[in-house]
Amino acid sequence: MPAELIDGRAIAKKVRAEVAERARKLVARGVRPGLAVVMVGDDPASAVYTTAKAKAAEEAGMYSLNVRLPADTSQADLLSRVDALNTDPKIHGILIQMPLPAQIDPDTVIRRINPAKDVDGFHPVNVGKMLIGERDGFISCTPAGIQVLLKESGVKTPGKNCVVIGRSNIVGKPMAALMMQNNENANCTVTVCHRHTADLKSHTRAADILIVAAGRARIVTADMVKPGAVVIDVGTNRVADARSKSGTKLVGDVDFESVREVASKITPVPGGVGPMTIAMLMSNTVRAAEMTLR
């Protein structure tokens, strides 16, 4: 029997409705949550993402500031802009769209953001808080969204073997740290695999929960998945497709058609993890505004 689809769009819609209600309550108390999205350059994909984030903020009743800077913007100028947003009382969340042009060091920029406004959850202060289990910081949006997907899909995580493929600072590392935390939505035994992992299949076949963020199209096939496992596909890859008008199509890091015959639950691409990332960004922004009233 094919795996049950984990509908990221439906779950994200639920999260965003909850966010909009929290935003309405804040507005009634005189605080309108504000999100600033800063993009440097004219990368088409980045433009799509920033527009989508700004639109989501507006739909939730938030104040949205979309800052577009030319590709030749200096690091000093960008840092100055971040400083201004840090002190702007209308702005509760700051997001710097990646990638940045070569003349700008992203780590320097991330560290310049006030941790209380770092709704992407990339500042070392927030990463550290997440790692030690403190809950007053911000968690990177994609891993946070995956935890919500698991919870809303009825997946019981305590005691399960969770295998994460990928060790990026954006997904892999925070995902592994979240799933080993001592709480009802984690308490897993976690294994992290990467390009130097020997016999990848032996690890993935042991996973009750397999989270794939490898950045390689269809790297996980059915023979690598334990029957009945829950499979979360974080990948977004463009591959050639003669049947498509554009000549390409979007696929994940999991060979969906074969793996869905083995897994118990699986996220599709698109429509799985992706919608949750923006939903959690909205949630983080509202929480940042809520924290100003405490």
Residue 242 has pLDDT above 90, yes or no: no
Of 115, 130, 154, at which residue does a domain stop?
115
CA distances from 164 to 15, 108, 111, 172, 237 (A): 24, 28, 27, 6, 18
Q: For residues 268 and 165, state if they share a domain.
A: yes
| Number of domains making up the chain | 2
Q: For residues 189 and 234, state if they share a domain.
A: yes
Q: For residues 145 and 254, state if they share a domain.
A: yes
Residue 6's pLDDT band, with cuts at 50, 70 and 90, is: very high
> What's the pLDDT score for residue 109?
98
DSSP the chain: -PPEE--HHHHHHHHHHHHHHHHHHHHHTT---EEEEEEES--HHHHHHHHHHHHHHHHTT-EEEEEEE-TT--HHHHHHHHHHHHT-TT--EEEEPSPPPTTS-HHHHHHHS-GGG-TT--SHHHHHHHHHT-SSS---HHHHHHHHHHHHTT---TT-EEEEE---TTTHHHHHHHHTSSSTT---EEEEE-TT-SSHHHHHTT-SEEEE--SSTT-B-GGGS-TT-EEEE---EEEE-TTSTTSEEEE-SB-HHHHTTT-SEE--SSSSSHHHHHHHHHHHHHHHHHHTT-
Residue 184 lies in a domain: yes
Residue 49's pLDDT band, with cuts at 50, 70 and 90, is: confident
In degrees, rounded to 5, the angle at the alpha carbon of residue 271 between the alpha carbons of residues 43 and 6 is: 145
Q: Are 21 and 49 in contact (CB under 8 A)?
A: no
| pLDDT (mean) for 166-187 | 97
> What's the pLDDT score for residue 139?
97
Report the range of poorest mean pLDDT among 33-37, 97-101, 203-207, 240-244. Answer: 240-244
Residue 120 lies in a domain: no
Q: Are 171 and 143 in contact (CB under 8 A)?
A: yes
Per-residue pLDDT tens digits for 266-294: 999 999 999 999 999 999 999 999 999 97
Q: For residues 150 and 109, state if they share a domain.
A: no
> In percent, how much of the chain has pLDDT > 90?
91
Residue 4 lies in a domain: no
| pLDDT (mean) for 4-26 | 98
Residue 25 lies in a domain: no
> What's the pLDDT score for residue 252?
96
Per-residue pLDDT tens digits for 70-114: 999 999 999 999 999 999 999 999 999 999 999 999 999 999 999
Cis check: omega of the bond before 270, within 30 degrees of 0: yes
Q: Which domain CATH number covers 99?
A: 3.40.50.10860
Residue 208 has pLDDT above 90, yes or no: yes
Residue 288 lies in a domain: no
| pLDDT (mean) for 211-226 | 97
Cα–Cα distance between 289 and 114 in angstroms, integer?
13
Per-residue pLDDT tens digits for 256-268: 999 999 999 999 9
157 lies in which domain range? 141-274
Residue 238 has pLDDT above 90, yes or no: no
Q: For residues 157 and 243, state if they share a domain.
A: yes
Residue 43 has pLDDT above 90, yes or no: no
109 Cβ contact partners less than 8 Å away, ≥ 6 residues apart:
75, 78, 79, 82, 96, 100
Positions marked active-site:
53, 97, 120
| pLDDT (mean) for 20-27 | 98
Cα–Cα distance between 249 and 243 in angstroms, integer?
9
Quote the mean pLDDT of the chain. Answer: 96
| pLDDT (mean) for 133-156 | 97
Q: Which domain CATH number covers 248?
A: 3.40.50.720
Q: For residues 148 and 270, state if they share a domain.
A: yes
> What's the pLDDT score for residue 294?
78
Q: For residues 259 and 215, state if they share a domain.
A: yes
Q: For residues 266 and 186, state if they share a domain.
A: yes
Residue 240's pLDDT band, with cuts at 50, 70 and 90, is: confident
Q: For residues 269 and 145, state if they share a domain.
A: yes
Residue 245's pLDDT band, with cuts at 50, 70 and 90, is: confident
Q: For residues 106 and 163, state if they share a domain.
A: no
Residue 172 has pLDDT above 90, yes or no: yes
Of 115, 133, 159, at which residue does a domain stop?
115
